[in-house]
């Protein structure tokens, strides 16, 4: 995962020297079918296969394979798309080659992993999810699209909507957490943000929903590992966010690397054709993940020719980087292993995407140097990034209102995450300008100026083990390493701490301790940092833990000993300023956890919407013999899903229902009054869960079905009304029918998934 180097310099020079102007205006007034039919009528089989080939801009991006001979292949019509090539100049140069030097002048689609911002980086997706603010999330995607499209791109490999209930899996950072309903709403918001209401507009991007499917359920949380799951669970819990993104109009889908019940996704016809196309009516195109076709060989499905044919026939249209399609499909056609209709289908869908993006009309519509200058990193975007970061932070603990701090005196920022700008954007921010991202220290200084004296010390290394630290600081996400004995570093840190009124311990993970290929078995704060924290606490000074994390961490010890914990994930470009805003009370934290924080990694997977089992624990018990539990740790999470504190307090009135029965086709109103009973203005996320108490299949003990985020001034109250309909009660039964069964339901309303009021109603 790196930024690309310069490429196609020759082409760039040629284009500008000759002043070529596009001869294009192929795309007519709107009859896509005829236009593509006519174009495909002129295409050779090689040219059709060429459209299915997606290459990198000349260097490895997220895998070890590198695309070669890109310029020559463009001219020969052997490339349909390029990814991770940016700037209007370079994109223009490559596009010039395609539209002026290839036989049929078919424009290229330009993609990239624009995951949580382009140059203006927003919090990592798990952090954005913690905002529970769909308008904000949509806006971050809109800004990402505006910046990326100004830099020549028209396609993003986002949103990543993989549900994950396993914090060992590093890529949990890249999605929206554990919940089906929240994940689905976020998926829609992101697609709307990227695509707007006009895919062909110069400021929008085509979305790519990934990773289809079930990538987040990898066994043991180990990346790329197998998933094996019942259909019932897939349909009810894991597939809805992908479907929501598709229903919102996402133009493309990316396959996942994993095996699904014996057939890897990239060769899985049931998934790509039966579910995606036939059941969900998806009409865009499917791209593989990076070399995922080739990886089918290691999965054990055959040689490159076999697996390329399998993948195409399964319903995949574009091959990312591996060139299995490019190099074998013609032979497979000649040998009758694929049909011309298979290739035509794939080619047509790729061309349709280009048509919808308006590329046939103007292949250079995303290449406007002036717009790039105006749009990228503009102050309004940075302001939104600061706001988004502040809204993503989750206050996990705040004993005796230690926070907010007063803007006075001396604060010691101590820990390996205090002064590293490169780690602030978080994982999967491939286009971030790392050299110019302020560190936490710099960002805080910029906000606080002379009001607060900030002193700083590294405190400890990130990790004891040098090799582990190297693996955890790849791609330029550096953290200085001090090779002196730990005791010497600590002694110095304590000297710094002594001079302060308050210690802010800046600990946790580096950005590359989560993300792709970054699974962990121990999800605690690394031991060397814990020792630092213990020593800081021993000073007797107030200690605030500012926790950097790309996943739920186990914080049992910290929760017991540290008076205040603010989880800031990785907040993006404006992390430092946003942390200052929250620590000093200019912004009241309002984030709520989108994934459960376990007490112990051995509880994983631990999620709130679990089944009851036939031997649940009695209420209030944490161990009973012959009941479903552990000998050593209770079943409870440390912090439940939906949890997060505020500097103020919110008091809930009694939850009321307007009826005891929900009529099919009608609605039931669930109301509650919420009052800000504290001293600060603040935001609260009111959450509504249901439980289907009796059914033909077992149902989760709680399922989120609604939420409302509101802002209240001190003393202010608001009445919230949720409308429940039959739709909210539906689930997939054993026949995979989407039904709402009659019977009794519980409805829960509250401030998180644990602290709720319960009422009952029935459906006839």
**Sole binder of ligand BGC in the list 61, 137, 411, 704 (CB under 6 A):** 61
Should residue 210 be labelled a site residue for ligand BGC when binding is judged by CB under 6 A? yes
Should residue 157 be labelled a site residue for ligand BGC when binding is judged by CB under 6 A? yes
**Sole binder of ligand BGC in the list 289, 295, 323, 683 (CB under 6 A):** 289
Q: Give the range of 15-23, 59-67, 124-132, 326-334 binding ligand BGC by CB under 6 A.
A: 59-67
- Least CB distance to ligand BGC at residue 162 (A): 10
The yes-or-no answer on residue 632 being catalytic is no
For strand 661-662 and strand 703-712, is the pairing parallel, antiparallel, or unpaired? unpaired
Should residue 237 be labelled a site residue for ligand BGC when binding is judged by CB under 6 A? no
Nearer of residues 26 and 156 to ligand BGC, judged by Cβ: 156
**Sole binder of ligand BGC in the list 26, 27, 51, 62 (CB under 6 A):** 62
- Least CB distance to ligand BGC at residue 216 (A): 12
- Least CB distance to ligand BGC at residue 250 (A): 14
- Least CB distance to ligand BGC at residue 208 (A): 8
Contact 643, 752 (CB under 8 A): yes
| Site residues (CB under 6 A) for ligand BGC, limited to 501-520 | 516
Should residue 173 be labelled a site residue for ligand BGC when binding is judged by CB under 6 A? no
For strand 252-255 and strand 285-287, is the pairing parallel, antiparallel, or unpaired? parallel
Q: Give the range of 46-54, 56-64, 230-238, 240-248 binding ligand BGC by CB under 6 A.
A: 56-64
Contact 454, 445 (CB under 8 A): yes
| Site residues (CB under 6 A) for ligand BGC, limited to 368-397 | none
- Residue from 133, 151, 166, 289 carrying the catalytic annotation: 289
Q: Give the range of 61-69, 245-253, 408-416, 706-714 binding ligand BGC by CB under 6 A.
A: 61-69
Q: What is the CA radius of gyration of the chain?
A: 26
- Least CB distance to ligand BGC at residue 223 (A): 9
**Sole binder of ligand BGC in the list 110, 242, 290, 707 (CB under 6 A):** 290
Nearer of residues 47 and 516 to ligand BGC, judged by Cβ: 516
Cα–Cα distance measured from residue 720 to residue 710, given in angstroms and rounded to the nearest whole number: 9
CA angle, 141 then 147 then 153, to 5°: 95
Q: Can you read off the two tokens belonging to residue 638? A: 């440390």
* 463 phi-psi bin (left φ>0, alpha ψ -120 to 50, beta other): beta
Nearer of residues 288 and 496 to ligand BGC, judged by Cβ: 288
Nearer of residues 434 and 645 to ligand BGC, judged by Cβ: 434
Nearer of residues 253 and 500 to ligand BGC, judged by Cβ: 253
* Residues in binding contact with ligand BGC, number by CB under 6 A: 9
Three-state SS letters, 552-605: CCECHHHHHHCCEEEECCCCCCCHHHHHHHHHCCCCCCCCCCCCCECCCHHHCC
Should residue 319 be labelled a site residue for ligand BGC when binding is judged by CB under 6 A? no
Closest by Cα among 614, 600, 588, 599 to 709 = 588
Helix, strand, or coil (residue 60): coil
Instruction: Determine the longest span between alpha carbons in the chain, in angstroms.
Output: 82
Cα–Cα distance measured from residue 692 to residue 698, given in angstroms and rounded to the nearest whole number: 9
Q: Which residues pair with 411 in a beta bridge?
A: 454, 502
Q: For residue 523, which phi and psi values (nearest 5 degrees)?
A: -105, 30
For residue 720, what are the CA distances in angstroms to 465, 653, 676, 747?
51, 11, 14, 15
Fill in the per-residue mask, 535 to 574: x = in contact with ligand BGC (CB under 6 A), - = not in contact: ----------------------------------------
Nearer of residues 289 and 512 to ligand BGC, judged by Cβ: 289
Closest by Cα among 189, 191, 157 to 174 = 157
Q: Which residues bind ligand BGC (CB under 6 A)?
A: 61-63, 113, 157, 210, 289-290, 516
Q: Which of the residues are catalytic?
A: 289
């Amino acid at each position: 995962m790196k930024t690309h180097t310069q490429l196609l310099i020759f082409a760039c020079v040629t284009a500008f020297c000759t002043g070529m102007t596009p001869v294009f205006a192929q795309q007519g007034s709107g009859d896509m079918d005829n236009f593509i039919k006519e174009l495909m009528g002129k295409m050779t089989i090689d040219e059709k296969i060429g459209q299915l080939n997606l290459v990198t801009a000349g260097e490895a991006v997220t895998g070890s394979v590198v695309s070669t001979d890109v310029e020559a292949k463009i001219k020969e019509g052997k490339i349909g798309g390029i990814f991770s090539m940016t700037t209007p100049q370079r994109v223009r140069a490559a596009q010039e080659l395609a539209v002026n030097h290839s036989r049929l002048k078919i424009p290229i689609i330009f993609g990239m992993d624009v995951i949580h911002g382009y140059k203006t980086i927003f919090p990592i997706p798990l952090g954005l999810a913690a905002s529970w603010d769909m308008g904000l999330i949509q806006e971050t995607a809109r800004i990402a699209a505006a910046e990326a499209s100004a830099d020549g791109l028209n396609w993003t490999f986002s949103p990543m909507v993989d549900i994950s209930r396993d914090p060992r899996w590093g890529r949990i950072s890249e999605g929206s957490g554990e919940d089906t309903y929240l994940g689905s709403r976020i998926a829609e918001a992101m697609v709307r943000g990227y695509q707007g209401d006009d895919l062909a507009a110069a400021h929008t991007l085509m979305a790519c929903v990934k990773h289809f499917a079930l990538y987040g359920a990898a066994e043991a949380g180990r990346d790329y590992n197998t998933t094996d799951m019942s259909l019932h669970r897939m349909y009810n819990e894991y597939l809805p966010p992908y479907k929501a993104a598709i229903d919102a109009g996402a133009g493309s889908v990316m396959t996942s690397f994993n095996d699904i019940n014996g057939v890897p996704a990239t060769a899985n016809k049931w998934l790509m054709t039966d579910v995606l196309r036939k059941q969900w009516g998806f009409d865009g195109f499917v791209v593989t993940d990076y070399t995922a076709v080739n990886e089918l060989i290691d999965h054990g499905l055959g040689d490159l020719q076999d697996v390329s044919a399998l993948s195409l026939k399964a319903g995949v249209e574009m091959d990312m980087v591996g060139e299995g399609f490019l190099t074998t499909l013609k032979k497979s056609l000649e040998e009758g292993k694929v049909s011309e209709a298979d290739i035509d289908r794939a080619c047509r869908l790729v061309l349709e995407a280009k048509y919808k993006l308006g590329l046939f009309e103007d292949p250079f519509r995303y290449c406007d140097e002036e717009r790039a200058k105006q749009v990228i990193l503009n102050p309004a975007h940075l302001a939104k990034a600061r706001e988004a970061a502040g809204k993503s932070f989750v206050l996990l603990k705040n004993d005796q209102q230690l926070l907010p701090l007063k803007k006075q005196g001396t604060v010691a920022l101590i820990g390996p995450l205090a002064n590293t700008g490169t780690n602030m954007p978080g994982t999967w921010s491939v286009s971030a300008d790392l050299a110019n991202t302020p560190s936490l220290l710099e960002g805080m200084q910029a906000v606080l100026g002379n009001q607060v004296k900030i002193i700083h010390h590294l405190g400890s290394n990130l990790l004891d083990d040098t090799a582990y630290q190297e693996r955890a600081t790849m791609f330029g996400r550096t953290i200085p390493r001090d090779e002196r004995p730990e005791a010497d570093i600590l002694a110095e840190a304590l000297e710094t701490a002594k001079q302060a009124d308050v210690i802010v311990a800046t600990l946790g993970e580096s950005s590359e301790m989560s993300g792709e290929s970054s699974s962990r078995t121990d999800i605690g704060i690394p031991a060397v940092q814990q020792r630092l924290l213990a020593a800081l606490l021993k000073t007797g000074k107030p200690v605030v833990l500012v926790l950097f994390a790309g996943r739920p961490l186990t914080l049992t010890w910290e929760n017991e000993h540290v008076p205040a914990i603010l989880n800031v994930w990785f907040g993006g470009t404006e992390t430092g300023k946003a942390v200052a805003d929250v620590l000093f009370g200019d912004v009241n934290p309002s984030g709520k956890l989108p994934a459960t924080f376990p007490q112990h990694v051995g509880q994983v997977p631990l999620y709130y919407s679990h089944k009851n089992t036939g031997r649940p624990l009695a209420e209030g018990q944490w161990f009973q013999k012959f009941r479903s539990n552990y000998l050593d740790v209770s079943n409870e999470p440390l912090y439940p899903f939906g949890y997060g504190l505020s500097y103020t307090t919110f008091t809930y009135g009694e939850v009321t229902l307007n009826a005891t029965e929900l009529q099919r086709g009608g609605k039931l109103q669930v109301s509650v009054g919420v009052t800000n009973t504290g001293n600060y203005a603040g935001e609260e996320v009111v959450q509504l869960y249901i439980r289907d108490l009796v059914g033909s299949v077992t149902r989760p003990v709680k399922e989120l079905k609604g939420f409302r985020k509101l802002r209240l001034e001190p003393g202010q109250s608001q009445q919230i009304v949720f409308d429940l309909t039959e739709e909210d009660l539906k689930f997939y039964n054993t026949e995979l029918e989407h039904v709402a069964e009659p019977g009794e339901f519980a409805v829960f309303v509250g401030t998180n998934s644990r602290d709720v009021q319960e009422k009952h109603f029935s459906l006839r």
